[in-house]
């Protein structure tokens, strides 16, 4: 009887250890996605005035597409309005939002003054959701909290939201985009996104 009990205890400990290892592997994979993306941001920043907006855009484009689930983000942002859009409108909105996302990074991360990124902690919220808490370290100012929410699609982790100093980019855009669609329609939303892309490129 004691032998059976020990066997069962050993079996459950083995299962627990496998679960812990799996969780560590997942959090490590998700943190590597964030680290890789932040490294690309720093690379662009460090090149500073050597790069034009168009060059920053093209350098950041593959990194954003690889690390962000832009289609899922777009669907979440327009919320219930997504089901009212045609297939063509959905594709256009994903493309336009993707361009806006890349353009915003190319606009805001364009110079370097000794900044760096630091991962503070990584937490698995559920089997398919991980939260990576990081800081943009500013040499002469207060550090900026930049937290990344990642979800797993197939075998890869992708960013679906960024929370800057406690403010969710996803929540802000959802409030804005849904209001525009409901009040003025799809075409007006596309026009407003296009205007923002143009403003970022200046």
Question: DSSP state, 127?
Answer: T
Q: Which helix (H) or strand (E) holds 68?
A: none
Q: Which CATH code for domain 2-200? A: 3.10.450.710
Burial class (CB in 10 A: 0-12, 13-18, 19+), 148: buried
- Among the listed residues 105, 107, 75, the one whose alpha carbon sits nearest the alpha carbon of residue 93: 75
Predicted structure pTM score = 0.86
Beta bridge pairs of residue 130: 124, 150
- Among the listed residues 200, 193, 187, 157, the one whose alpha carbon sits nearest the alpha carbon of residue 77: 193
48-67 residue pLDDT tens: 889 999 999 999 999 999 99
Phi (first) and psi of residue 105, to 5 degrees: -65, -45
Task: Give the pLDDT confidence score for residue 25 in this predicted structure.
Answer: 87
Phi (first) and psi of residue 112, to 5 degrees: -135, 130
Residues of the chain with pLDDT under 50: 1-2, 9, 11-22
For the chain, the domains span 2-200
CA terminus-to-terminus distance, the chain: 77
């Amino acid at each position: 009887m004691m032998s059976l009990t020990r066997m069962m205890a050993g079996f459950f400990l083995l299962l627990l250890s496998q679960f812990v290892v799996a969780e560590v592997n997942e959090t490590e994979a998700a943190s590597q996605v964030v680290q890789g993306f932040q490294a690309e941001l720093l690379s662009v920043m460090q090149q500073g005035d050597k790069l034009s907006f168009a060059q920053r855009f093209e350098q950041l484009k593959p990194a954003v597409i690889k690390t962000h689930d832009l289609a899922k983000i777009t669907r979440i942002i327009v919320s219930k309005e997504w089901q009212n859009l045609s297939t063509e409108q959905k594709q256009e909105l994903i493309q336009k939002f993707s361009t806006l996302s890349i353009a915003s990074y190319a606009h805001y991360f364009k110079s370097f003054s000794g900044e760096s990124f630091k991962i503070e902690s990584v937490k698995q919220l559920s089997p398919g959701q991980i939260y990576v808490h990081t800081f943009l370290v500013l040499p002469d100012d207060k550090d900026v909290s930049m937290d990344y929410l990642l979800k797993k699609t197939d075998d890869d982790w992708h960013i679906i939201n960024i929370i800057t100093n406690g403010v969710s980019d996803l929540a802000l855009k959802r409030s804005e985009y849904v209001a525009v669609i409901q009040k003025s329609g799809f075409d007006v939303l596309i026009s407003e996104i296009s205007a923002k892309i143009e403003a970022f490129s200046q």
